[in-house]
Amino acid sequence: MGEDKTLNMITINLIGSGNVAQHLISVLQQTEGVVLQSVLVRNLKSISHLLTDEKIITIPEQLQPADVTIISVTDSAISEVSNTIPFENQLVVHTSGSMGLDVLNDKNRKGVFYPLQTFSKLKSIDFKEVPLCLETENESDYQLLETFGKSLSDKVFKINSEQRQSLHVAAVFSCNFVNHLYQIGNEICDENKVPFEILFPLIQETADKIKTLSPKEAQTGPAIRHDQKTIDKHLAFLNDETRKTIYQLLTQSIQNNNG
Amino acid sequence: MGEDKTLNMITINLIGSGNVAQHLISVLQQTEGVVLQSVLVRNLKSISHLLTDEKIITIPEQLQPADVTIISVTDSAISEVSNTIPFENQLVVHTSGSMGLDVLNDKNRKGVFYPLQTFSKLKSIDFKEVPLCLETENESDYQLLETFGKSLSDKVFKINSEQRQSLHVAAVFSCNFVNHLYQIGNEICDENKVPFEILFPLIQETADKIKTLSPKEAQTGPAIRHDQKTIDKHLAFLNDETRKTIYQLLTQSIQNNNG
């Protein structure tokens, strides 16, 4: 006598059609033990390439209760969207790194399902490798959200709102700001007719190294060596005031933090 | 009638025992078409784990002429070391990113053999992937140095001193400063009891993205979105003045460069 497998399925509603929502639609349809019940969007066409029309709804009143309802919209719209949900006392989560639980309407049980990755529409992602940062208001909901998270990814973390805020700030330094330094490197190469790709192996190795050494241990270069001759040469080479200021500030910070 | 293959071998002298020198000793012994003739070091024991004793010399006068003599010592010692070379009119190159040809003694033909990678003694490197930036004073020597470079690496570039200087500055931004931003991310995680490894997939994806998108196109986050609410939240979260200043300066630079 086999069990009825559908009894153990986790049902999911999704609200939104952005980058994160689209990656979730794809992965939810491929995940065992999970049923994507409905996707609520403003414009049916925005996601009709991703799933069959009968699952797409455009009016909040059509949403049926599900085990987890995921709101994946821009930060400033989460509150308003959560107000339009027609049912009560279900688990409703948002996917934002910087918003608390309080942004969600009180009529449902609250949680956060924050995938910490940079999603581009054109680039596929191995979702098993995406860290999921989970939080629920009620301890009793955590197990449900964790079971759901583990069916999608091998990297599930229990992270409260304050920790999530710190992660978001850390990600700005380690991702957005890092990318901006790549941009400055790229521009310096272009201005001197040197192919930027010469730096790719170095960029790759720098990102790899911190998996086995702490960044503090891994630091190299003129700043940490207190090689003032080279630092002066580099400052004389830089003719852009912003770049000079960034160079000086980061050199000083490296020296102060490791002295 | 077979050719005598040794006639076509490139003979190499190496001077130095640092990270770059040790990686070169290993790769030179594994490379077809290349003969490592002698390695000159101050202390025989520093490299005796890497090659047989008869190839190691400790007195400059024992150096015999070779097709290429590589000086791989710290920047400030290159000049002095090049003065001690006992022969004349051979190709002598250094491996520094920031020194010109003029640092080498005039009695030999000059060149640069700059491997653009971060070398750690404990971490092996696929040398085929290491970009080699080559320069020679005489055009006629370039072909020899290029043939030698191509036997070691698939990525050989002709780079003059000014371009090499620009690459060195670009590498400080894209490697040393990037690593320092990783360090700040790591510290913020530690202070908030969040495992830094949650950020590894994001760090990896950020480094990968620029191989298909320019860093300018790849930029994401609150700065480029001019999301002042989130920026203010992050600044309020940061209690360290240096971090605040770095956050503000890089946010401003992102907005000015992409506005």
The pLDDT tens digits of the residues spanning A182-200 come to 999 999 999 999 999 999 9
CA–CA separation, B181 vs A174, rounded Å? 6
Report the chain A residue with the minimal C-alpha distance to residue B221. A176
Task: Reply yes or no on whether the pLDDT at A1 is more than 50.
Answer: no
Chain A contact set for B163 (CB, 8 A): 192-194
Question: Is pLDDT larger for residue B120 or for residue B216?
Answer: B216
Please give the helix or strand (H or E) that residue B167 lies within, else none.
helix B161-171
Residue range B108-121: mean pLDDT, rounded:
89
Whether residue B98 lies within 8 A of chain A, CB to CB, comes out as: yes
B165-258 placed in CATH 1.10.2020.10: no
Which A residues, 15 through 44, put their C-beta within 8 Å of a C-beta on chain B? none
**C-alpha dihedral sign at B208, B229, A68, A146:** positive
**Beta pairing, strands B132-136 & B109-115:** antiparallel
Task: Reply yes or no on whether the pLDDT at A21 is more than 90.
Answer: yes
Question: Is pLDDT larger for residue A42 or for residue A124?
Answer: A42
Q: Is A153 exposed, middle or buried (0-12, 13-18, 19+ CB in 10 A)?
A: buried
**Beta pairing, strands B68-71 & B56-57:** unpaired
Task: Reply yes or no on whether the pLDDT at A258 is more than 70.
Answer: no
Check if the beta carbon of residue B147 is closer than 8 Å to that of residue A180.
no
Return the bridge partners of A71, or none.
A15, A94
Return the percentage of chain B with pLDDT > 90, whole number.
87
Which B residues, 179 through 238, put their C-beta within 8 Å of a C-beta on chain A? 179-186, 188-189, 191-196, 198-207, 209-212, 214-216, 218-224, 227, 229-230, 233-234, 237-238
Calculate how close chain B gets to A59, using CA atoms only, in Å: 29
Half-sphere exposure of A92 (CA within 13 A, CB side): 27
Contact A246 B242 (CB under 8 A): no
Task: Reply yes or no on whether the pLDDT at B259 is more than 90.
Answer: no
| pTM higher than the cut 0.90 | no
Chain A contact set for B204 (CB, 8 A): 207
Domain ranges within chain B, ordered by starting residue: 5-159, 165-258
Considering only the beta carbons, identify the residue of A172, A179, A181 that sits closest to B234. Answer: A172
Collapsing DSSP states into helix, strand and coil, what is residue B123? Answer: coil
Give the pLDDT score at A91. 98
Task: Reply yes or no on whether the pLDDT at A105 is more than 50.
Answer: yes
Give the pLDDT score at B34. 97
- Which residue in this structure is represented by tokens 């989560």? A93
Q: What is the CATH number of domain A5-159?
A: 3.40.50.720
pLDDT in tens, A232-257: 999 999 989 999 999 999 999 999 98
DSSP string, chain A: ----GGGGPEEEEEE--SHHHHHHHHHHHT-TTEEEEEEE-S-GGGTTTTS-GGGEE-SGGGPPP-SEEEE-S-GGGHHHHHHT----SSEEEE--SS--GGGS-TTSEEEEEEE-S---TTS---GGGS-EEEEESSHHHHHHHHHHHHHH-S-EEE--HHHHHHHHHHHIIIIIIHHHHHHHHHHHHHHTT--GGGGHHHHHHHHHHTTTS-HHHH--STTTTT-HHHHHHHHHH---HHHHHHHHHHHHHHHHHH-
Contact A186 B216 (CB under 8 A): yes
